[in-house]
Structure 1
């Protein structure tokens, strides 16, 4: 009888039996299933199995965290189930059938926007500050600034002006901040087309060139299109080719046109590389890929985007003037955030402007403001749920601030779309708040101030009334974010509170020394030479979100893994890519060379010690071929984690990231 035969049998029954398993494999810590019906998996029963440390669903795979003994567990599972495992790539391929359209789209968005997050977050904070400087009005006694020049008002009477109108200093700051703000958001299509080519593995410089052609100064700026007449566009902003014309319209801050053009470029390049001889491919592949894409972007993709925008404008205007405007308020509140993703939200500004011109105020801008607040509230809820994830906090905290200052792109692309359920929670909260706001007749005198300061743009008689929908836009998304995560609704990635922990198995605890005094410190040195980074930078969320324990990742520059302390080799994986050690004081460390390297089945690895062997700090444990691993399309980033974090507090030593040499102190584990 196998060591885990009983638990494996329980797991097979809990996931719906053999007939519910389409494919199965394992990695260093998890059983990875593709189930025919995820609903048949009894999560409460799975949690109760003694060897289970947690579970989650990601990219169509139902993953059960077992820990260091997963290889032995997998063998026992195969024996009792009669199911033969397949390669990890085969599991991934099968898993795609379990992903719905929304999950696939969101996955693509996440892959494209993740490299752009640092710029988007900075841009969000900059534009949020500019919203305040340009929109918040303060009392100015006898003076104001116009165009950066101080101007004395008549009679010395108090006047109300924006901060930039009152203060020359802040007027200068605001003007200067336009430079990075424009670079980040107006030229966002350049980053998007670059990121698409990066994801598709095609020529990135062509993506950059394509993006530039979408935002060139020779084109009519996208922000000016709605205020420019068709006659003027036809006269001054059109290419005339004799027998046909094409509008010279830019796509500043537009997402969908840039993404569509980027994918078209990538697929054209892939196509032509197959058929154009390598000797002339350097000339003709870029030419035949780039030029048709630029033409299609300006002749087809872009115009279709504008037609969609015009249709939305018509629907919005009709809804605002109907007898069921309160219902429209709810619908618009729900849909505004998806419009921001597409870039079509710019059309709402034209409607707001016209409403103010016709009626002296607008009831559309409060809905936009509430959507900003709701997206910020959901990000804040995710921050509360993931406090221990330092990398995510670096994104979620400034994203919350940015959204509550009126710029939601960092919140949506950085956090909410990544997990999906907080994005949906924010949409629902925004819809309810928008319905209440419209029903109460809240209107704004101006546009431009978003987020929490948006109340300053509301009509004086409506300010107190607006506090209620603002509160709804905060409270409802927070509650729904917590609920959706716990219930697993709209939850494509984030694990529910399933008792996930790094507790070791009972058999493993028997090898731990007893009587270790509280406060005992163990220095863990680097087992590799290379670049050491925070664990939150790991590719795999099980490591990056500290499911298995606390630690760091190292990008090795040499293929030799050494002992980080004196101890015993507690586990060597059959595929040789991961080793577990227990220090003399009971610190358990897992070192996992590369991501998805289990698929190599030991190729490129050579173990230099045996399980149960006593080793000294610096002693070589295994060697691996970095070039071979990379040639298989895998990354060599190596998590070094303390798995019994319930017994030891883990702190990093020194600044991260940095270059490190094998034997340099990298972490300190303190007995708790």
Structure 2
């Protein structure tokens, strides 16, 4: 989950009276190392990182930040100062959320000449909060498939019908989840954004399209006598939803300028919703579907040209994308693949990357265990275990970034096994978190697919472990 805090005026000391002095000292040290309260524009967090937008990034002291107990690493990327905490990140965020900030600028602030960084920040800002919801629904679908495949429960039972229905609903209404998150990024009213995305999913329009198709007619309406609206099914469509909220962020201030102050509470939402929905359904959403199909075509073409090379590249770069905090860029690609093809070959590589990180970390632990303190040894092995469970930041920033050769070995192992995974068509049919607990989801496509997935995670762990043991000297960082 990712939250934002941009305009609270509550002093840090007020928010932490019940906490231990040591924790309060850590928090104060963190704020001081970032340049003080006045230098913090806003604070967000994802599953393992605190993400700070600073007024002056040069005031942040990376060395001081990394020396704070509990901080596992610091990344300066995408115009953000990312402080890696791990599983306790929400505890830190809740304590820090009262830090007064210098202004109420948008969480996602465009910077000239930084197209890639801006795009990655938008993707992370939108999909970071959505991932837990879709991962939970995807895991439910995967568990159902596993129980059905092992004959624990009948596919025709009411239980399967019920749980499959509620898990599938999450992906059908995904545009609404994405639009709510995008509204926070683009700084518009979240509920009007939900209204626009619900208009895209209007059952009456879906029924009308089906009726027109059944009658042999073009599924299209003419609104106001001149505006053509193509009736498409936007269930699960994420690109049109994001574009819709972006349009809303432009339409809302425009129409607000023409509404008298006394009428703004009623007429600004009316005009914003009506105008945006009309523009979106007549032009923007169909264009978004075209972009989605185009992106799917590009990925599909790469897989057709060389599935092995595609798998190798995605696997090789997976650990690096996590280090720089841009790993969420894979999420819309995989979701688009699910919508277009009903399966995705790239998400299994995410899991392979995590297990490769775990394997390299455990090898580092094995090589250093007799030469470091018991506390350091336990930190390393604990980081390896959490990587197996799907949380890789402690292993990456606490261990592998200190041994860059080990990080390369993890990347190489993920690339090699990723190439094999794509070549033999190991795939998923729903979005899940990338950990060993996700393996039952592979049963949705049969026992062979499940066996391939198991061999993949075991193989990549073993390969990363072996390569690190052979080529990494823990005395040479």
- TM-score, length-scaled by structure 2: 0.53
Counterpart position of 2:312: 330
**Aligned equivalent of 2:36:** 26
Q: Could you tell me which of 450, 453, 457 is aligned with 1:470?
A: 457
Query: Which residue of structure 2 lines up, in the alignment, with residue 564 of structure 1?
Result: none
1:212 deviates by 0.9
Q: Do the aligned partners of residues 271 and 430 (structure 1) sit closer, same or farther apart at CA in structure 2, a change above 3 Å counting?
A: farther
Match of 2:132 in 1: 121
Distance 2:170 2:39 in 1: 40
Q: For 1:110 and 1:321, how far apart are their aligned partners in 2?
A: 29
Shift of 1:260: 2.0
Distance in 2 (alpha carbons) for counterparts of 1:461 and 1:189: 33
Q: Which moved more, 1:273-282 or 1:206-215?
A: 273-282
Q: Give the match for residue 143 of structure 2.
A: 132
For residue 442 of structure 1, the aligned residue among 421, 424, 427 is 424
Corresponding residue pairs, total: 352
Contact 2:141/2:167 (<8 A) preserved: no
Distance of aligned partners of 1:163 and 1:475 in 2 relative to their CA distance in 1, 3 Å threshold: farther
Distance of aligned partners of 1:272 and 1:305 in 2 relative to their CA distance in 1, 3 Å threshold: closer
Residues 543-622 of structure 1: pairs in structure 2 closer than 5 A:
none
2:294 to 302, 311, 320: 311
- Structure 1 residue aligned with 2:202: 216
Matched, 1:190 2:197: no
Q: 1:347 to 1:296 in 2, by over 3 A?
A: same
Could you tell me how far apart the structure 2 residues matched to 1:138 and 1:48 are?
47
Higher helix share: 2
Structure 2 residue ranges without an equivalent (≥5): 1-33, 41-53, 84-100, 319-326, 363-384, 395-399, 402-406, 433-437, 468-477
Query: How far has the Cα of 1:278 moved from its partner?
Result: 1.0
Q: TM-score, normalised by structure 1?
A: 0.40
Matched residue SS, 1:235:
coil
Q: Which has the higher contact order (CA 8 A, sep 6+)?
A: 2
Whole-angstrom CA distance in 1 between matches of 2:127 and 2:427: 35
Tell me the residue number matched to 2:268.
285
Give distance in 2, aligned partners of 1:327 and 1:261: 35
Q: Which residue of structure 1 aligns with residue 239 of structure 2?
A: 256
1:487 is matched with which residue?
Answer: none
- Please tell me the root mean square deviation across aligned C-alpha atoms, in Å: 6.0
Query: Which entry has the higher C-alpha Rg, 1 or 2?
Result: 1
Cα distance in 2 for residues equivalent to 1:291 and 1:198: 20
Post-superposition CA distance 1:346-366 (Å, at most 9, x none)? 35525x6xxxxxxxxxxxx5x
Q: Which of 138, 150, 154 is 1:164 aligned to?
A: 154
Alpha-carbon separation, structure 1, partners of 2:278 and 2:464:
42
Cα distance change of structure 1 residues 373 and 219 upon mapping to structure 2, 3 Å threshold:
farther
Alpha carbons of structure 1 residues 400 and 259: separation in structure 2 relative to 1, 3 Å: farther
Aligned to 1:266: 249
- What SS does the corresponding residue of 2:257 show, helix, strand or coil? helix
Structure 1 residue 210: Cα displacement: 1.0
Aligned residue for 2:204, secondary structure, equals coil
8 Å Cα contact 1:112/1:196 also seen in 2: yes
Structure 2 CA distance, aligned partners of 1:192 and 1:213? 14
Higher normalized strand content (fraction of residues) = 1
